[in-house]
């Protein structure tokens, strides 16, 4: 779940773990096959985190093999991408500018997510469509602002 945007500057200075804020929530598959949410800062090597099967576009879980450690007191600049969720609430994604994302550029078909052609977050523009994981599959969400 991503927090609702309220008066967030275009480039936010947030505690970071390189690509996402350390305060970001991540879905994790437990040993007893239950999905729970953990803060990114609490992810450990060996955790099974939610990801996307690039062949099907559906939810899968991938083992964490590496964590880029950063001083937790460090603040980094992150892009803020605004979009509307399934309930029409404004949400935002705080992400580093070079993180790869599944994006359909404005004016192109959203019949299928572009799973083989992710782009850097810095190239996302208002009107483009980002693909978010909701209830186990990718869904298109139009970018409302940056």
Residue 90 inside a domain? The answer is yes
Number of domains, the chain? 1
Residue 5 inside a domain? The answer is no
CA 32: distance to chain centroid? Answer: 25
Q: CA 55, 108, 144, 4: dihedral to nearest 10 degrees?
A: -10
- Count helices and strands (H / E) in the chain: 0, 12
The pTM for the full model equals: 0.69
Residue 3 inside a domain? The answer is no
Residue 1 inside a domain? The answer is no
Residue 73 inside a domain? The answer is yes
Domain span at residue 63?
11-145
Residue 6 inside a domain? The answer is no
Residue 67 has pLDDT above 90, yes or no: no
Per residue in 86-136, pLDDT (tens digit) is 888 898 888 888 888 889 999 999 988 888 888 999 999 999 999 888 877
Residue 39 belongs to domain with CATH number: 2.170.16.10
Residue 2 inside a domain? The answer is no
pLDDT level of residue 1 (50, 70, 90 thresholds): very low
What is the distance between the alpha carbons of residues 45 and 31, in angstroms, rounded to a whole number? 14
Residue 66 inside a domain? The answer is yes
């Amino acid at each position: 779940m991503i927090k609702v945007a309220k008066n967030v500057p275009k480039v936010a200075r947030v505690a970071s773990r390189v690509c996402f804020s350390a305060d970001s929530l991540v879905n994790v598959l437990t040993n007893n096959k239950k999905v729970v949410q953990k803060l990114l800062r609490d992810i450990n090597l060996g955790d099974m985190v939610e990801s996307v099967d690039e062949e099907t576009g559906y939810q899968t879980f991938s083992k964490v093999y590496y964590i880029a450690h950063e001083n937790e007191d460090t603040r980094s600049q992150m892009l803020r991408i605004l979009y509307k969720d399934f309930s029409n609430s404004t949400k935002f994604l705080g992400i580093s500018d070079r993180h790869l994302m599944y994006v359909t550029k404005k004016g192109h078909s959203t019949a299928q997510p572009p799973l083989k052609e992710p782009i850097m977050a810095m190239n996302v523009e208002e009107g483009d469509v980002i693909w978010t994981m909701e209830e186990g599959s990718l869904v298109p969400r139009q970018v409302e602002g940056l």
